[in-house]
Amino acid sequence: MSNIFAVITEQILRNCGEEPVCTHVGDVRFCAIKKHPTYQMFRRQVRLNRSKPSASLRLWESVVTLAREGDQRRKEKWLMIALDILTPHFEGWSKELARTWHYEISDIRSAIVEGLLEAWSSTGDDTSCKKLRDAMMARAFARARNLVSIGSSETCTDSVEFWILNRPHGGDPTLRASSIIDAGTVRDPDTDERIRGECIGALLQRTGAIDDAKRLHDQIRDGGRDEADAPAISPQQVGRSWIDGKNLYYRFSDLLPRHIGFKQAANIFDLSESQASRRSGKGSLPFRVLWIGNSRAAAVKSLMEILDIPDPILHPDDVENGASQIGDQ
């Protein structure tokens, strides 16, 4: 069996290539820090910085947040990176365990990864990142020791590539309350969509934010948006995309900042910065934290989900039509 530690690293390198990788907010385009290392450089830095607990914990906290938020594809990417950060701690120990117990090292390392994943899946989102790391490490050690102590070489017969999912990824299938249309009150979903877009357009016009929305609309119409960021559309919305020749839909959250500061996020939950810091250390903070250098931030989309704020899908035409009806009133 192949070395699963090496397979995880190779898969990440294959996905990331030579492009800069952002471990702060997940996307270099939206990060306040301008210089980012390639994944090869990042991985070497992590190994060199093991002696700096605070720096390592900040990095781990951001990686955990990125692995728990966003679409399924991004979650899997950052979960793999989280595993790749932890597995180097087991390399020497797994070799020693294999020599001592005369056991196949590939089976031991597979058990370690299984333990890491089991702890990740069984630990609640309210667990602090430090406790999560400790739980994953402890479960991995226990899994490997149990494997060799029972004296059986029986392990999963699947190849290690089982852990690397290469299938196409679809959009997040989770239904949000704001996207569910009550057929008993709205007979025409297309009309409901247009009314919703026009109402938001009118609101943006009144608040003076319509120009920012139009800049986003121009970018989308000109093909300047990464198609991976476009929301999945329903069968009813395909007709409008066919007319335009492309998917012009976007989410309301695309009009908002990607991140806000830690203090602002804490104030939303009626917490002071010091209170939020203490709760973060205990794992009881109601939102997840991203580290951007020495500064903390929170993802706006994540806050909207936590607070049950709707994030509807909008069409530029509807938003602009609603704004034009208000005019300069």
The identity of residue 26, as a single letter, is G
Low-confidence winner among 109-118, 160-169, 253-262 (lowest mean pLDDT): 160-169
C-alpha 271/C-alpha 282 separation (Å) is: 15
Q: Give me the chain's average pLDDT, please.
A: 81
Tokens of residue 181, six digits? 């249309």
What is the tens place of the pLDDT at every residue in 234-263?
Answer: 776 776 765 566 888 999 999 999 999 999
pLDDT at 265 over 50: yes
Give the pLDDT band of residue 174 (cuts 50, 70, 90). Answer: very low
pLDDT at 40 (0 to 100): 85
pLDDT at 242 (0 to 100): 58
* Contact (Cβ atoms closer than 8 angstroms) between residue 319 and residue 213: yes
pLDDT at 83 over 60: yes
Give the pLDDT band of residue 183 (cuts 50, 70, 90). Answer: very low
What is the tens place of the pLDDT at every residue in 45-68?
Answer: 765 344 556 777 788 888 899 998
Question: Mean per-residue pLDDT for 316-324?
Answer: 91
CB-based burial label for 243 (10 Å; 0-12, 13-18, 19+): exposed
C-alpha 57/C-alpha 317 separation (Å) is: 45
| Those residues with Cβ within 8 angstroms of residue 323's Cβ, 6 or more apart along the chain or in another chain | 201, 202, 204, 205, 210, 213
pLDDT at 303 over 90: yes
Tokens of residue 44, six digits? 């070497």
Domain ranges of the chain: 4-163, 179-329
